[in-house]
Structure 1
Amino acid sequence: MSIFDVEIGGLRDGSADLPRYRGTAVLIVNVASKCGLTPQYAGLERLQERYAERGFTVLGVPCNQFLGQEPGTPDEIAEFCSATYGVTFPLTEKVEVNGENRHPLYDRLVDAPDAEGHTGDIRWNFEKFLIGPDGAVAARFAPQVEPESAEVIAAIEKSLPA
Structure 2
Amino acid sequence: LNPGGGGQRAALAWYILNPVVGKVVLQGYLGAAGYDFTYPAIGVTASGRGVIGFTATGDTVNPSAAFAPIDAMVGVGPWNVINGGTGAAQDDGFTSYKSQVGNPPRTRWGDYGAAAVDGNSVWLANEYIANPCTYKNWGGPFFLGGSGDNLLGTCGGASHGPGARAALGNWSTRISQLTP
- After TM superposition, the score normalised by the length of structure 1 is 0.24
| Structure of greater relative contact order (alpha carbons < 8 Å, 6+ residues apart) | 1
Larger Rg: 2
Higher helix content, 1 or 2:
1
In terms of fraction of residues, the more strand-rich structure is 2
Scaled by the length of structure 2, the TM-score of the pair is 0.23
